[in-house]
Structure 1
């Protein structure tokens, strides 16, 4: 249990003092019955807020239980917005419980995790779905889901074993290969109602401005602190992680190791223990080139990868040591690329409520040929949208529910 705070910085005392002063003033100035009722309502409201803050700070498990029901969630959200306290979390659990999800923990021992994945079967089923959603990276998916399953199981059986973030993974590979897609998909499977925060290391190349933007300064909370204060179940994705300034990464190190951070604007301790963190990097994909063929989740390979990263990038050793797994993502085979292009075309058709029946192999081959190892799938979505626009517009105009994409013959040139 956290040590109780004393002094006027404690929001409980602040609210009680303000309520008492307001009650005294209004009782002195207002003599009508209506005024007295106003005083009573304000005093009760201040006392209720103070009690809510006390529960948030010193009885977090009780707060999490109350947060699962709508009245409690409304009350705690109001108190947290008013005082800057972190919400109790458990939104994903509450949503899953309302849907009757059997995988949600309900007993006392499972309160330390809010993942809707709690058993080995849950994680295996989620991994199967992920392999179908993110093509060509089955091994990376299996390694991450296995590591997450172990982390969740430890917290279920040892509720006091928290401290660090739930998972911290470094995905390395060429642009457009699916790093961000995979990170988001894993977060959505673990926390269906949780938040996702996208950050770009290239925006944090300056130490002072980067630290202030992420963590806050003076009376202002940073982007990272604000996001996790409002929704503790968060997937945090840092693109181009190796581009961020070392001081910014060092600031993240404390969160990765300890799972908490004090908001400088409110002096409230923000918990990150339920967060998933992904570092994404194209440069590190090249750095790992000499050992990528021997990739393994075992300690020996991970140690070699960490040394290469420390020696060849700006990521400090202390931050590299916080990474649970470094995972190189290899380019897709031609067959996998063709499958992904076909799926993207199908998804584009679904936006118009049109079923895609067939794609001309020549069209598929042209698109696959444009996918390079250097750029990956960058630009593919835009090309597909442009290529299908005319056919889809025609299908909508004539109410055609199904569509076949055929290669158009070259138009005769007019002299």
Structure 2
């Protein structure tokens, strides 16, 4: 029970002003909320040891607003911000154990050095000049087909691609950890895609340069790997197998950069766009507006017409949400079309060919090749299904 005489002890919270509001969050759990300035003042006064009633009177004197501080504290407990009320411990979410705990903010501080982006740009410029002088260094899709056996090609893609994915996510984790955010590595799904991702909940509380560095650090790692591979390949003769292998490595490092432009699936560039537009949740706003438009098309004669959910947003965020809704609809349609007409037929063809290789009319190497393809394709799809199920169950439980 929260009464006027209650004294509230809050967990360690961090705040950041943004526009006409204040972002408040608890880094240990990743919970972040956006409050009006008066809400932030309530938290500040409660943190000084004032009672609920004393805080309400002080807020009324400062702002002229009549704030129901008791209800506000009750709401804060639902976010896990309240540690004790009148000496009694308040149950809340248990902080997750951060991944790779030995990466402390002090050890990761170098990742926020402002000179690093310039160093990456210099490396990329050097690689671009090198490929201009010797165009044969530019990696093409032919670089991947270095063996007639599909299993060896897939093994190389998995063997090189997933370590690159880990380094990409590790860069997010290191830069987030440098800002004090715990960060967690996990698997996720984006439509039909299985992805590795870094939960950086709480990064919204960091300064903008640090936030953008955390969002773009993974792409920077891919770019660095590709540039180093190209510059190293330039030291080998054109017919050298090492040159071909390094070109394949560069291609595998560059391909994920194209994926980042699919902002309809909340990639790294999506979070950059969301930050630059000042939106709290651009995906949710765009999805809400998309559903609104769909409802209007399906029910054109509804009276009164449904209310536009973006009208409550500031003008800049409203425009961003409406534009993003078009990107969301177009991108999702194209991705699903690619699945139906390109990816699924290609995977099915490769799988059928692999199953046929398991027959008695084929040699040991061909059977091994077919078994490897079946295991890789089937295993990746099974992992996608398992991850999708876990995400759905976690979302349902949280709701």
Q: TM-score, normalised by structure 2?
A: 0.27
Normalising by structure 1, we get a TM-score of: 0.26
User: Could you say which structure has the higher helix fraction?
Assistant: 2
